[in-house]
C-alpha cells in the first residue's frame, strides 16, 4: 500500500498535490533543491543537528532504504550535510535529505545526484560530539514532522504530511495533472488560455458579486 502511494507521488508535481489539498503543510520556500530537476518522495527519518553532526552519523547508518533524512538545525549557520553523507545515502538507497539549514560540498553532491534540499551552502561544519537525537518529532521549515511522515519535493519546494493526508489528496492531484496536460496541449494547438477555462464567465460573476469558481474546461 505504502509502496504504491510512493510510486504515484513520484509521478505528480508537488504543486499539484498542494492544489489538491491547500491545507497540506509546505515548508518554508527558502528550503529548496540544491540540485535542479529532481523529484524526492519518501518517509521521514528525523534528525537533530543543532551545530553537531553526531545525529547525522547515527541517522545515515540506521535509516532504511526509501527514507528521507529530515534534519532540524535550530537555525545554526553550520553545514549539517555534505558529499559524504549524500554518497552514503545514495549507497544505502535513501530517497534524499532535507535540511532546515545548510549543506556543503555542493560540487561533490552534484556528482552523487542524491536529491538534497536546504536553505543554502556554507563551508563550515560543527563537531560530532553528540548527543545523537534521531526519530523524534522535529520542526523543519515551520512544519512539524514526525517519523514516518511522507516527504515530497521537487524544484518548487517541499511538502511534508502524515501518510493518510497525502493518500487522501493523491487522486485529486493526478486529476489536476490530467486536466492541466489537456489545457497545455490545447494551447500548443493554438487555443487561448481563456478559451480553455471559464475565465470570461468567472470574471463577470466576480465583478457582479456572484458566487463563482475558476476552472479549466479543455
pLDDT score, position 36: 93
Written as one string, the DSSP assignment of 13-68 is -HHHHHHH-TTS-B--TTSEESSSS--EEEEEEEEE-SS-SHHHHHHHHHPPTTEE
pLDDT score, position 116: 98
Which alpha helices (DSSP H) does the chain contain, by range? 2-9, 14-20, 54-62, 83-92, 106-112, 163-188, 199-207
pLDDT score, position 218: 84
**How far is Cα of residue 183 from the mean position of the Cα atoms in its chain?**
25
Q: Which residue has the cell 515551520?
A: 142
pLDDT score, position 123: 97
Rounded CA-CA distance 37/57 in Å is 27
- Left if phi > 0, otherwise alpha if psi is -120 to 50, otherwise beta: which for 29? alpha
Contact yes or no for 62/133 (Cβ under 8 A): no
Q: Which among 218, 181, 161, 201 has a CA at the least distance from the CA of 18?
A: 161
User: pLDDT truncated to tens, each residue of the chain (218 aa)?
Assistant: 889 999 999 999 999 999 999 999 999 999 999 999 999 999 999 999 999 999 999 999 999 999 999 999 999 999 999 999 999 999 999 999 999 999 999 999 999 999 999 999 999 999 999 899 999 999 999 999 999 999 999 999 999 999 999 999 999 999 999 999 999 999 999 999 888 999 989 999 999 999 999 999 88
pLDDT score, position 189: 95
pLDDT score, position 121: 98
- Left if phi > 0, otherwise alpha if psi is -120 to 50, otherwise beta: which for 115? beta
pLDDT score, position 99: 98
Q: What is the pTM of this model?
A: 0.94
Cα→Cα distances 208→139, 155, 198, 199, Å: 44, 38, 15, 14
Rounded CA-CA distance 125/92 in Å is 23
pLDDT score, position 1: 80
Q: Which among 145, 128, 165 has a CA at the least distance from the CA of 21?
A: 165
Amino acid at each position: 500500500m505504502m509502496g504504491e502511494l510512493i510510486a504515484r507521488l513520484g509521478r505528480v508535481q508537488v504543486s499539484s498535490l498542494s492544489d489538491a489539498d491547500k491545507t497540506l503543510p509546505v515548508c518554508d520556500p527558502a528550503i529548496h533543491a540544491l540540485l535542479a530537476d529532481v523529484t524526492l518522495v519518501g518517509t521521514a527519518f528525523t534528525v537533530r543537528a543543532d551545530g553537531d553532526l553526531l545525529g547525522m552519523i547515527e541517522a545515515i547508518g540506521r535509516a532504511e532504504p526509501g527514507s528521507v533524512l529530515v534534519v532540524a538545525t535550530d537555525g545554526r549557520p553550520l553545514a549539517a550535510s555534505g558529499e559524504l553523507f549524500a554518497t552514503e545515502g545514495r549507497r544505502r538507497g535513501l530517497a534524499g535529505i532535507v535540511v532546515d539549514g545548510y549543506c556543503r560540498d555542493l560540487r561533490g553532491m552534484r556528482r552523487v545526484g542524491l536529491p538534497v534540499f536546504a536553505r543554502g551552502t556554507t563551508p563550515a561544519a560543527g563537531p560530532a560530539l553528540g548527543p545523537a537525537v534521531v526519530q523524534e518529532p522535529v520542526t523543519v521549515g515551520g512544519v512539524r514532522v514526525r517519523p514516518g511522515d511522507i516527504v515530497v519535493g521537487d524544484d518548487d519546494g517541499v511538502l511534508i504530511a502524515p501518510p493518510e493526508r497525502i493518500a487522501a489528496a493523491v487522486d485529486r492531484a493526478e486529476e489536476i495533472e490530467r486536466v492541466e496536460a489537456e489545457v497545455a496541449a490545447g494551447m500548443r494547438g493554438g487555443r487561448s488560455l481563456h478559451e480553455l477555462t471559464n475565465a470570461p464567465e468567472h470574471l463577470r460573476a466576480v465583478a457582479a458579486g456572484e458566487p463563482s469558481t475558476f476552472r479549466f474546461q479543455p
